[in-house]
Amino acid sequence: MQGIYPKLAVRLPDGRLVGSIEQGVFYRSFRGSLHLLQRPVPALAIDTRVYDAYRPYFHELRWTDTETGRVYILSAPRFDALRWTLERGYGRQYAVALRYWHCVDPKQSQLALAL
């Protein structure tokens, strides 16, 4: 795509909306209490079909936990290098351990501004 990124709605094969891609960034919202993997290590995951279909259109992932407001950021090349595949009954997924994501916590940001 050579630096030109379209604005896209990211959907599962059944049509359900997963997120959006804008300016080469894949935005996604999720509920941490339901969607944050705990085993074998805390991780974030996505359906392999979705990731593979939309991968040419983004260079960064920014996923927001709607319960905490935390934003998890990772470059797509790093996601590609660190991911592993798992199957937990919801189709194949790619996962990357949370320790590799940069986490922006709005509560900590607000505290820093208040000081």
How far CA 102 is from CA of 13, 22, 24, in Å, comes to 29, 19, 18
What letter does residue 42 receive in the DSSP assignment?
Answer: S
Confirm whether 59 is domain-assigned: yes
Kindly report, residue by residue over 67-78, the tens digit of the pLDDT.
Answer: 999 999 999 999
Q: What is the 3-state secondary structure (H, E, C) of 89-104?
A: CCCEEEEEEHHHCEEE
Residue 96 has pLDDT above 50, yes or no: yes
Confirm whether 56 is domain-assigned: yes
Confirm whether 2 is domain-assigned: no
Confirm whether 1 is domain-assigned: no
Confirm whether 3 is domain-assigned: no
Rounded to two decimals, what is the model's pTM?
0.85
Find, among 2, 4, 10, the residue nearest to 62 by Cα. Answer: 10
Residue 60 domain boundaries: 8-114
pLDDT-based confidence at 17, cuts 50/70/90? very high
User: Please, are residues 43 and 63 in contact by the beta-carbon 8 Å criterion?
Assistant: no
pLDDT for res 7: 93
Report the number of distinct structural domains present in the chain: 1
